[in-house]
Structure 1
Amino acid sequence: MQAASHLRGAVDTLGGATMGTTWSVKLVTRPNVDLHAIHARIQARLDRVVAQMSNWTAHSDLSRFNAASAGTWHALPDDFWTVLACALDIARSSNGAYDPTIGAVADAWGFGPSGPHDAPGQVPADLLASVGWQRIVIDAATRRVLQAGGTQLDLCAIAKGFAVDAVAAQLQADGIDSALVEVGGELSGRGRKPDGSAWRVIVEACAGDEDDATPARVLALDSLAVATSGDRWHRFEHDGQHYSHTIDPRSGRPARGAPLAVTVAASSAMLADGWSTALTVMGVDDGFAFACRHDLAARFVAAGACGREERMTPAFAELLQA
Structure 2
Amino acid sequence: MKLRYSLVLLTVLSTTLFSACEKSPEREVQIQGKTMGTAFHITMVTKDDTRRVEERINKRLVEINNSMSTYDPESEISRFNRMTEVGRPFPISADFLEVMTAAAQLYELTGGAWDGTVNPLVNLWGFGSRRVAPRVPDPEEIDALLPKLGFRHIEITKDGALIKHHRAVTIDLASIAKGYGVDQVAAVISDAGIRHFLVEIGGEIFARGRRADGKPWRIGINTPKPMSGATEVYKVVAISDRAFATSGDYRNFFEEGGRRYSHVLDPRTGRAVENGVASVTVIAPTCTFADGLATALMVMGPEKGLALVNQLPDVECLIIVEEAGDGLSEHPSRGFRAEP
TM-score, normalization by structure 2: 0.84
Cα distance in structure 2, aligned partners of 1:237 and 1:137: 38
SS at match of 2:335: helix
Matching residue of 2:4: none
Matching residue of 1:102: 118
Is this contact kept in 1: 2:53–2:188, CA < 8 A? no
Distance verdict in 2 for CA 1:174–1:120, change over 3 Å: farther
Distance verdict in 2 for CA 1:315–1:118, change over 3 Å: closer
Q: CA deviation at 1:313?
A: 0.9
Q: CA deviation at 1:128?
A: 1.2
Is this contact kept in 2: 1:66–1:151, CA < 8 A? yes
More RCO (CA 8 Å, sep 6+): 2
Aligned counterpart in structure 2 of residue 303 of structure 1, from 322, 325, 335? 322
Number of residue pairs aligned between Structure 1 and Structure 2: 315
Cα distance in structure 1, aligned partners of 2:148 and 2:70: 17
Cα distance in structure 2, aligned partners of 1:198 and 1:301: 24
Cα distance in structure 2, aligned partners of 1:19 and 1:225: 19
Question: Identity over aligned residues, as a percent?
Answer: 31
Matching residue of 2:219: 201
Is this contact kept in 1: 2:27–2:47, CA < 8 A? no
Distance verdict in 2 for CA 1:119–1:219, change over 3 Å: closer
Cα distance in structure 2, aligned partners of 1:94 and 1:171: 31
Q: CA deviation at 1:135?
A: 1.6
Matching residue of 2:210: 192
Matching residue of 2:80: 65
SS at match of 1:219: strand
Distance verdict in 2 for CA 1:5–1:228, change over 3 Å: same
Is this contact kept in 2: 1:12–1:27, CA < 8 A? yes
Letter in 1 for 2:132: P
Provide the aligned C-alpha RMSD in A. Answer: 2.6
SS at match of 2:32: strand
The 5-angstrom pairing of residues 264-279 of structure 1 reads 264-279=282-297
Unaligned runs of 5+ in 1: none
Matching residue of 1:225: 243
Unaligned runs of 5+ in 2: 1-14
The 5-angstrom pairing of residues 37-186 of structure 1 reads 37-71=52-86, 72-117=88-133, 119=135, 121=137, 123=141, 125-140=143-158, 142-148=159-165, 149-186=167-204
Matching residue of 2:5: none
- Report Cα offsets for 1:221-270 as digits up to 9, x if no partner: 21101100121233233565422212211011222225110000000111
Is this contact kept in 2: 1:188–1:223, CA < 8 A? yes
- Report Cα offsets for 1:78-99 as digits up to 9, x if no partner: 1111111111101101111111
1:316 counterpart = 2:332: no
Cα distance in structure 2, aligned partners of 1:44 and 1:243: 39
Is this contact kept in 1: 2:110–2:296, CA < 8 A? yes
TM-score, normalization by structure 1: 0.88
Cα distance in structure 1, aligned partners of 2:182 and 2:67: 15
1:285 counterpart = 2:298: no
SS at match of 1:309: strand
